[in-house]
A and B are shown apart, each in its own frame.
Chain A
Amino acid sequence: MPKKRDDAYQEYIKGLWRDNPVFVQVLGMCPMLAVTNSAVNALAMGGATFFVLVASSFLVSSLKNWIPKQVRISTYIIIIATFVTVTDFTLQAMAPVIHKELGAFIPLIVANCMILGRQEAFAAKNTVRLAVIDALGMASGFFLALFVLGSVREVLGDGAFLGMSLFGPNFEPWIIMILPPGGFLTLGLILLFFNWLKERKDRLVDRLDGMEAEGL
């Protein structure tokens, strides 16, 4: 059924672009800003969050009929915390260097409001299939945002990308970009850019509407 595939596609693309959790909804900022001082850290964080979000959406949407309404938030949190614990130990065993670099921010995925928000707003009300697709979309959007922010900060603050030097030894790095203030400033400027894109699109739509009205 093409109609159904279309729905799934819409749910996916919604998380990736139109309702991007970071750039549009401004959720899940804490881990986002803290670990994006280099592109590699951003990738690791994005991967970990990806797994936790998809797995918890799957479990919450399959269990939704058994979870009592009054304790639903606590239940979601415990489900999320379980998956985060799994991720934490897996990373510690498989990639100790990255685990050390990210430090306390892996356990802090539990407190990522984006993940809890998806459970409450989507997974608890939809079928397993749609919930997983929605989670995939949101997680990809988060991953993309982390990667963009991490790359910008690493290129400006370190003159490197994924650890490779880009500009040679004469480049004077903007230390401020890998320090905490740089995170705020970069994200602020990216949001500004998104506002600008939206404004431009709105104006274009307005103009098209005007032309259509004249034509009629």
Chain B
Amino acid sequence: MNELIWIFVSALLINNFVLAYFLGLCPFLGVSGRLQTSFRLGLATIFVMLITALCSWFLNTYILVHAPYLRLISFIVVIASTVQFIEMVIKKLSPGLFRALGIFLPLITTNCAILGLAIFATNRGYGFVEGMIYALGAGLGFTLALVLMAGLREETEMAEVPRLIKGTAMNLIIAGILSMAFTGFAGLFSAA
């Protein structure tokens, strides 16, 4: 049980996918303009991550033991089809959200956080339960970083900043400071 809690907290805070591993930066910088949109994108990402963890565990255990060189290709096919499926569901259920997410919805496919999750989980030899907990922690961590960033960006929108630094340069520096704050979590489990 302790092991599972450690996996969860580590993926959520200490080794946050966005702020410590630099995974999923494209949506992190691209969709973090509005709080609500980024929250929903985070939810979609968590869902894709859970399904990917499930499928990659299945593939790893039953199929890829016979053909390890197909690992990358089969993971990416699983992710691409899951994203396609979610795209259709969101389009049907909430056309507004579909428009708001725009190009970033199909781009979940190339969200390195998801492929990274599958690869890290495989490299560390996680079993089924560990893999799912890891996926949940990583997804929540991604959402947390995205929502924090969106909140900060909404605040800075009204602020008076020099014209030169506005845009990506400022967002990156904000991300750097956020990431610095997250390094503080590193001591959280040092005793354990």
Interface-central residue, A88, A184, A189, by most chain B CB under 10 Å: A184
Closest-CB distance, B74 to chain A (whole angstroms):
9
**Contact mask A26-42 → B, CB, 8 Å, 1/0?**
11011111100000000
Sorting the interface of chain B by its residue count into under 10, 10 to 19, 20 to 34 or 35 or more gives 35 or more
Q: Is the CB of B179 within 8 A of A110?
A: no
A2 at interface by CB-CB < 8 Å:
no
Interface size on A, residues (CB 8 A): 43
Question: Is there a chain B Cβ closer than 8 Å to A82's Cβ?
Answer: yes
Which residues does A use to contact B, with CB under 8 Å?
Answer: 26-27, 29-34, 73-74, 77-78, 81-82, 84-85, 88-89, 103-104, 107-108, 110-113, 116, 176, 179-185, 187-189, 191-192, 195-196, 199
Residues of A within 8 A of B73 (CB): 78, 81-82, 85
CA distance A83 to B175 in the complex (A): 32
Task: State which residues 3-50 of B face A: CB under 8 Å.
Answer: 19-26, 29
- Cβ-defined contact, B164 with A192, below 8 A: yes
The answer to whether B76 touches A30, judged by C-beta atoms less than 8 angstroms apart, is no
B177 is an interface residue with CB less than 8 A from chain A: yes
Cα of A180 to Cα of B184 in the assembled complex, Å:
12
Q: Is B21 a contact partner of A34 (Cβ separation < 8 A)?
A: yes
Tell me which of B72, B107, B173, B183 contacts A188 (CB under 8 A).
Answer: B173
Q: Are B76 and A113 in contact (CB under 8 A)?
A: no
- Asked whether B120 lies within 8 Å of A104 as measured between CB atoms, the reply is yes
Knowing A30-B24, A81-B73, A112-B110 touch, does A195 contact B164 (C-beta < 8 A)? yes
Q: Are A180 and B183 in contact, with the CB atoms below 8 A?
A: yes
Contact in complex: B175, A184 (CB < 8 Å):
yes
Q: Is the CB of A188 within 8 A of B169?
A: yes
Q: Do residues A84 and B176 form an inter-chain contact, with CB atoms below 8 A?
A: no
**Are A30 and B22 in contact, CB atoms less than 8 angstroms apart?**
yes
Which of B29, B77, B115 has the largest count of A CB atoms less than 10 A from its CB? B115
B189 at the interface (CB under 8 A from A): no
Chain B residue contacts of A182, Cβ below 8 A: 176
Output the least CB separation between B71 and chain A (Å).
Answer: 8
List chain B residues, Cβ under 8 A from A111: 110-112, 114-116
Question: Beyond the given A34-B21, A34-B23, A195-B164, could you list 19 further A-B residue pairs with CB under 8 A, ordered by the A residue number?
Answer: A26-B29, A27-B26, A31-B112, A33-B22, A74-B80, A77-B80, A78-B77, A81-B76, A84-B72, A85-B72, A85-B73, A112-B110, A113-B26, A184-B179, A185-B172, A187-B172, A188-B168, A189-B173, A192-B169
Q: How far is the CB of B167 from chain A (nearest CB, A)?
A: 8
Interface residues of B in 60-115 (CB under 8 A from A): 69, 71-73, 76-77, 80, 106-107, 109-112, 114-115
The 7 closest A-B pairs by CB, nearest first: A184-B176, A188-B172, A111-B112, A185-B176, A188-B173, A191-B169, A181-B180
Query: Which of these, A33, A82, A88, A116, contacts B25 with CB under 8 Å?
Result: A33
